[in-house]
Amino acid sequence: MTNTQETVNSILIDVLKGVKDAGSEMYATSKVGLAKAVDFAMEQAPIVVQEFISWKMGDAIFNCIFYSIGVIILLGAIIWLKKKLEKEQKTPTRLRNIHIKEVFCNNTQQNS
């Protein structure tokens, strides 16, 4: 039994040594892989940042143009309505009422 036990112990020791050696090789390999990945990321970081900044700049320019067009259209509509209101206020009320009556009378005569 002692021989068997010694054989089992030696096999177990060999297996543990193999695991230890393989573990250190795996650690070294993963360390090299991580170092390469970090180097690659450091090389690519300026390019990625530059692309991100240019994309955001394009987005900001588009938004600026889009909102400027909206403001111009809104101001144009406000000015147009203001002029129309001023023109409407300059005409006397009696003439406005007559004009409205003529429009309604003409519409009712055409419909008959």
Q: What is the dihedral angle through the alpha carbons of 62, 68, 74, 76, rounded to the nearest 10 degrees?
A: -130
Q: Residue 84: which domain range?
A: 2-111
Give the model's pLDDT for residue 46: 85
pLDDT per position as a tens digit, 14-67 = 777 776 666 666 666 677 777 777 788 788 888 888 888 999 999 999 999 999
Q: What is the pLDDT of residue 45?
A: 81
Q: What pTM value is reported for the model? A: 0.42
* In the predicted structure, residue 107 carries a pLDDT above the cut 60: no
Q: How many domains does the chain divide into?
A: 1
Task: Report how far residue 3's alpha carbon sits from residue 13's, in angstroms, rounded to the nearest whole number.
Answer: 15
Say how many C-beta atoms besides its own lie within 10 A of residue 15's C-beta.
Answer: 10
Contact by Cβ (8 Å): 102, 94: no
- What is the arithmetic mean of pLDDT over 96-108? 58
